[in-house]
């Protein structure tokens, strides 16, 4: 009877350890180097976690007015400005450099690439020209596009 109890406890312990190891791993961010030339290594990290690590490693003031749900895994190298511009592609942000350090304000996802809600630039065109045909085709395509 003791043997069955021991085997049952052992099986439960193995299942528990296996279940915990298969769970979601925590984000990992490593920074090495100087502000002018450094390497950032990330594993499933959000921009908030990356900016917190950069802020503690360098003289970087961070303000978050928006957020990004994107997760980053990989290695990034270069200057602080170069790495931030790569990571924040598609985001609206303000990056300021001063003698006492840098500051970044993350505003959130960029809407500059969005066509909806942005007035189109209209160039003058003569009737029957290719420009008129292109405009009509785009207009028809946008009307038929599901939203």
Residue 147 maps to a domain: no
Q: What is the pLDDT of residue 44?
A: 93
pLDDT in tens, 105-140: 888 887 765 444 445 555 555 555 566 666 777 777
Q: How confident is the model at residue 88 (pLDDT cuts 50, 70, 90)?
A: confident
Tokens of 57: 């490693």
Taking phi over 0 as left and psi of -120 to 50 as alpha, with beta for the rest, 78 belongs to: left
Residue 92 maps to a domain: yes
Please, is 47 exposed, middle or buried when counting C-beta atoms within 10 Å of its C-beta (0-12, 13-18, 19+)?
buried
pLDDT in tens, 18-62: 555 544 557 899 999 988 899 999 999 998 999 999 999 988 888
Residue 117 maps to a domain: no
Q: Which domain holds residue 91?
A: 28-109
Residue 20 maps to a domain: no
pTM: 0.57
Domain of 87, CATH number, reads: 3.55.50
Residue 16 maps to a domain: no
Residue 134 maps to a domain: no
Residue 17 maps to a domain: no
Domain count, the chain: 1
Residue 52 maps to a domain: yes
DSSP, res 16: H
């Amino acid at each position: 009877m003791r043997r069955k109890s021991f085997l049952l406890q052992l099986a439960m312990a193995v299942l528990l350890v296996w279940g915990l190891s298969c769970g979601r791993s925590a984000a990992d961010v490593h920074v090495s180097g100087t502000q002018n030339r450094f390497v950032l290594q990330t594993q499933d990290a959000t921009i908030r976690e990356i900016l917190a690590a950069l802020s503690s490693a360098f003289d970087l003031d961070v303000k978050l007015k928006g957020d990004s749900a994107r997760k980053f895994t990989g290695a990034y190298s270069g200057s602080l400005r170069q790495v931030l511009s790569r990571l924040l592609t598609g985001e609206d942000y303000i990056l300021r450099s001063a003698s006492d350090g840098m500051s970044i304000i993350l505003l959130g996802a960029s809407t500059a690439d969005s066509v909806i809600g942005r007035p189109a630039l209209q160039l003058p065109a003569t009737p029957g020209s290719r420009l008129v045909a292109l405009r009509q085709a785009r207009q028809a395509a946008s009307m038929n596009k599901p939203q």
